Structure 1
Amino acid sequence: MSPLDPQATGASATAVNPVTQAGRMDPKDYDGVLLASFGGPEGQEDVIPFLRNVTRGRGIPDERLEEVSHHYRANGGVSPINQQNRELKAALEAELAARGIDLPVLWGNRNWAPFIPQTLQDAYDAGHRKLLMVTTSAYSCYSSCRQYREDIGMALTETALDGRLEVDKVRQYFDHPGFVEPFVEGTAAGLADVRAKLDAAGTPDAPVHILFATHSIPTRDAEASGRSESEPRTFEDGSAYVAQHLATAAAVLSRVEAESGLTAPWSLVYQSRSGAPHVPWLEPDINDAIEDLAGQGVKGIVIVPLGFVSDHMEVVWDLDTEALETCSKLGLAATRVPTPGTHRTFVNGLVDLISERTVSNNISDRPALTKLGPWYDVCRPGCCANFRGEKPAIAGADSTVGTGHDAYPAANAGVAGPEGVQ
């Protein structure tokens, strides 16, 4: 079937094997929450140093980095992501306080200040010994899970905090109600908006299509996502990353239709591809998909940024600028649905994820709106492999860095199995 065939991305997008109790960690007495994110430049002078950080180890010259910096340059050299993380940090702090949960929220980035190593050092110097990490990436692949785990592992090693500061991580939350429900609300509003635009244009019955958009990744990374060396699972399209998006999109639209009566054919599309042209990445690109749909007679497009937590640069440029310009050029009525951002339901959901792992204020129930979840607390051996070479990592069944080397309970030791991109 065509990638744009709605039947190719239907509600059956689930894995064969359910996640078992063995994937859980016992609750702990954490003394802080680490909000970890991608980071972004906050001025024109930051752009090239930031891009050097993102591409470090790849030998890309500054001249090439300047060529790909245009979307930052066009926005004053500022990515929205850092301010959005400040707002998310404040919202998490407020919700934790409202529930009487005494856990400070620390913030560290992979590619721009505040950097993760300094955040961990500051945490240790302030007396913290057990941190629980929440990342701004909901899905499983190298860039959205394992790379965070490696960045923490390398930071603990570089700061000589391995064995002295313990860092764990909440599960990937692609199908947690707190992440899904803001998209249900936004998709229903987006469908109503596009229908209203078509009605105003005198074509109320014109075909509408929903594009669930996420970050493209190399197909090899997609195939490695969710992989386990000793606990095989079967995923649609051979990839946990793809299957998670398909299943979550189906769950969103099922809820939209049940609650509002609105529906439309839909597909999963990709954006923000980078890297060498000869390396295969997930397709179709959203702009190619829009052109194909226009050729098929579609007159309205609803873009749902399902792969992303906040309206960062890859949303405001790749979707709000490029994709919506493609729609305008083709004469299509279009709208882009909001990301969860600091939506109250999303913030509440993140605090629920934290409470799944804490002794105090513990929430034992682990909701999941697809058959793929709830995902593992402890990533399985071999999951989301780093094809550039293995690095120290935390929060995996084969990890020792940052755990004191005996932090995982015996029930999880040796367990088979395991990570908007942001």
Structure 2
Amino acid sequence: MTDTVRHRPEALPKAVREDFPLLARRAGDLVAYLDNAATTQKPRVVLDAITDYYTGANSNVGRGYHRLGLASTERYEQARERVGRAIGAAHPEEVLFTAGTTSAVNLVADTAGPRVAGPGRQVVVTGMEHNSNLLPWRRLCDRTGATLTVVPAGPDGRVSAARFADALGPDTVLVAVSHVSNVLGTVNPVREMTAAARRVGALVLVDGAQAVPHRPVDVREIDADFYCFSGHKAYGPMGVGVLHGRRDRLAGLPPYQVGGGTVKGVAADQPVRYLDGPARWEAGTPHVAGAVGLAAALDYLRDLGRDAIRRHDRALVGHAVDVLTAVDRVHVVGDPVADPSGIVSFVVEGIHPYDVGAHLDRHGVAVRCGVHCASTFLDELGLLGTVRLSFGVYNTTAEIDLVGELLTGVKPGPWTTDHPDVRFL
């Protein structure tokens, strides 16, 4: 089958794989890790940065004035500066460390949201949102009486800038959109969407969880009020993420959580005086090692070369579409080659996605199958679920060829027989 598929050389050297200890030693029976949209593997430089912090500067930040405490605080704030540079932030103080994208979206929904949402007002999202960029807004609307408007994707799985702009009006107070779909890899025109929101005076939040690992992000160019992403999807540690907020939007927002490290002072007979700057929203002991590891991960991507990563994605996505469409009964969903972001979703006619995923796993291939925490989007597409290949800097066309070969032998399994009346295409 693969003899008929045009070979597309990867843009990154195969030696990149040696940077990732888990892949270099081939953990367990793993042959191909193709679930990078769920989480990426971690390069040695990230693991070393975390170890170096814990063995050389471990102490609480912003508290002690002993030398170890000062060293820990310095590393934490240096990480903030490096992350800010990586995404084009105007000031380091615009970078808030969170537990991840989900935490960042909830922070905005619970602090900025109530200030603008209410009866007669509208919050707008797209139909392709991950639950983490949908449920906080649903809850906000339930609490405030605002209306949640969902702009559906077209038959190609895309939301055009014009369709999005048509959904906005004078009552629109906040919009939240994903930069890149975690289901299809579709890239939203976020600059145009932000401009449309600006015209009606609405706040804008962009979920960049799937964008930052694959493409250069310049938050000043996008011009959203808030931009967020997770570390673990960008080759950094789990449990750390970023919320970028424009300084004029962060100013005056109430704390998301309160406690140690957020106050100027507390007196029994006086109002609480909260700090300004990132500490206002980073209550308690932050994930210092996570921030240090995330900065190392973004530096690693910079050193690989963002253009090279884009070319690598283009080669892998194009090759995957060629391989998959050459297999009988396999159908690629959407148009992943239009602006590749390392994701290709497909279905196998007559076979449940979980059965396909189990078949691939038995042969050492890790993929994601199901609704990808975006069931409303799958409903729009008329699909029970998909099988998703998502690529990282260490993946190869040979791994994609293996998937194609394995799909020729996939058969219905227990998930298919348990849903005899459901069409899987």
TM-score using structure 2 length: 0.29
Q: Which has the higher contact order (CA 8 A, sep 6+)?
A: 1
TM-score using structure 1 length: 0.29
Higher-strand-fraction structure: 2
